[in-house]
Amino acid sequence: MVDNRKVGVLGGGQLGRMLIEAANRLNIQVNVLDAASSPAKQISAHDGHIEGSFKDSAAVKTLAQASDVVTVEIEHVDTHMLEEVASEVVVEPSWKTLRTIKDKYAQKHYLKEHGVDVADSIDLEGKGVEGLKEVGTTYGYPYMLKSKTEAYDGRGNFVVKSDADVDAAFEALGKRPLYAERWADFRIELAVMVVKTKDGVLTFPTVETVHEDSICKLTYAPPRNVSESTAQSAQALAKKAIGAFEGKGVFGVEMFLLKDDSLLINEIAPRPHNSGHYTIEACPISQYDAHLRAILDLPISQSNLRLREPSIMLNILGGQTPDSHVQVARKALESPNASVHLYGKGDARPGRKMGHITVTAPTLAAAEHEIHPLIDFVDAKKGKKTTTPSPRSETSLSTKPEPLVAVIMGSDSDLPVLKAGLQILETLHIPFTTRITSAHRTPDWLRTFSKSASATSLRVIIGAAGGAAHLPGMCASWTTLPVIGLPVKATHMDGWDSLVSMTQMPRGEPVATVGINNSTNAALLAVRILGAEDREIRERLRVWMEGNEKEVLRKDGVLLGGGGRLI
């Protein structure tokens, strides 16, 4: 084993199970406190487990005695018991942190005190129905009524839409310790898994989370239609938030991305989190590896946490029938890039987390394309009308692969010149799209196209133009993708005008210019650029070039003796 110390975990659900999966690989013994056949215990055969409830203080004590480091897979634990055992055993993260975070109002108050942006909130304990009405006056409607404790997956939350809702809201949640939150009019939700180690704070990549009925349904890494700088701001905010707490381990930070691109913390979880499941396949080490390493002071660095490939996680929830989750899992086995995780839970109640699927692919567009039928299948099982949550739904619905090359031209009169090049792309199986856009007649559309290009599946742009030929140069000024310029011979100057307009771009925005009217070379250059990273495309090109070489040698042979011999 990499470490002789024994880890004790309060809770043996799916998070504990995936933690043990990571521990098994390092031969680290994890003692689980939970019921006998809990998911985590099923994959760990030793006699150090404790049978009982993680809320039972005697059982927590027994676990502490059998372990060197105690941690949690759930925050709804008795922190007073953890405080007591902390004198005998290391508890990570600190019981103080768990105590603050398990009370959502205290959590937000604490974050605000530490200068972290969170939604405004008002304490409602002991304030009765009147308190709820006052919030309506202060914040306006709608606002969010929440139980401070034991609230998760939408339970313990109530959206108060108008003063007519106040009585119903109080009746639903009035017996619990309550607080209210100002409504956050967010564009999308983001999440970041943060790792707190003995040396500092590290972050996994930012993901987009999609909730349905207040339960996490999907995560997208990287987030869709979010700039890299916003993704980095989300990591920075998450880092700041977790830096304010004591103790080690991984933390899930859920955020709102507002319509003005600013960020607000929504909630923090002091443990591995649903929004970090994707890390098992998508990063060199998973959130579970990271948690173990952090609490045991084993080596870990920011470079362990890179995104290997874009990925999408889809939760498998219990559905209408007892086996609908199994049907989803079986369906996912047909998906080329899907990893299927089932948690070994017995009963499938509607909405219960039974497993998850992670699809990784070379591009997020390809992952979206692949996950789409699985989302539809899940929705159909729920009796929901099929809609895709993807903003690229139209293209996702088709079975065509997403384009890697865009061929743009100022006018369809350039098409005859482009024909040979498009033929090359087809021959070499490169998915492409052709668009007509003119630097002078449709400057705004060219700008919109160019600015958004790098966030799509596109990798290279070919711009064909004649005359003053501003098209590829303007496109290059608005994108970071490589732009190939194809000078087209127009009425005057034999094509010299376009050739020079493209090559002589100012320092800063290069256009990769090929010969006049030589669309074959424009296409082949695009293929070379794609092949720089894609061995398969490069091999296709090599075979094609070899064929050309043989053809030239054959012609030479014909010239020589009429026999078509190779020398």
Q: Give CA–CA dist 308/449, Å, rounded.
A: 28
Nearer to a second copy, 21 or 120 (CB): 21
Nearer to a second copy, 88 or 536 (CB): 536
Name the minimum Å distance from CB 149 to a second copy: 32
Nearer to a second copy, 42 or 157 (CB): 42
242 touches 268 (CB < 8 A): yes
Name the minimum Å distance from CB 517 to a second copy: 10
Name the minimum Å distance from CB 333 to a second copy: 4
- How does strand 405-409 pair with strand 432-436? parallel
- Output the six-digit token pair for 86: 């902390």
DSSP codes of every residue in 14-64: HHHHHHHHHHHHTT--EEEEE-TT-HHHHT--STT-EES-TT-HHHHHHHH
Q: Give CA–CA dist 16/21, Å, rounded.
A: 9
Nearer to a second copy, 81 or 231 (CB): 231
Nearer to a second copy, 271 or 356 (CB): 356
Residue 505 DSSP one-character state: P
Nearer to a second copy, 156 or 403 (CB): 403
* H-helix or E-strand spanning residue 16: helix 14-25
| Residue whose token pair is 């720089």 | 532
245 touches 93 (CB < 8 A): yes
Nearer to a second copy, 129 or 342 (CB): 342
Name the minimum Å distance from CB 397 to a second copy: 20
Amino acid (one-letter) located at 146: K
> In 167-259, where do the E strands start and end?
178-182, 186-196, 201-212, 215-221, 249-258
Instruction: Give strand pairing partners of 189.
Output: 209, 256
Nearer to a second copy, 84 or 534 (CB): 534
Whole-angstrom Cα Rg for the chain: 29
Greatest extent of the chain over all pairs of C-alpha atoms, in Å: 103
Nearer to a second copy, 7 or 166 (CB): 7
Q: Tell me the CA distances in angstroms from 526 to 361, 428, 461, 484, one per residue in order.
A: 21, 11, 8, 8
Nearer to a second copy, 306 or 441 (CB): 306
Name the minimum Å distance from CB 496 to a second copy: 10
Name the minimum Å distance from CB 200 to a second copy: 16
Amino acid (one-letter) located at 308: R
Name the minimum Å distance from CB 103 to a second copy: 35
| Residue whose token pair is 């890697």 | 404
SS3 readout for 232-298:
HHHHHHHHHHHHCCCCCEEEEEEEEEECCCCEEEEEEECCCCHHHCCHHHHCCCCHHHHHHHHHCCC
Name the minimum Å distance from CB 329 to a second copy: 5
Name the minimum Å distance from CB 480 to a second copy: 5
Instruction: Give strand pairing partners of 123.
Output: 179
77 touches 68 (CB < 8 A): no
498 touches 469 (CB < 8 A): yes
Name the minimum Å distance from CB 52 to a second copy: 17
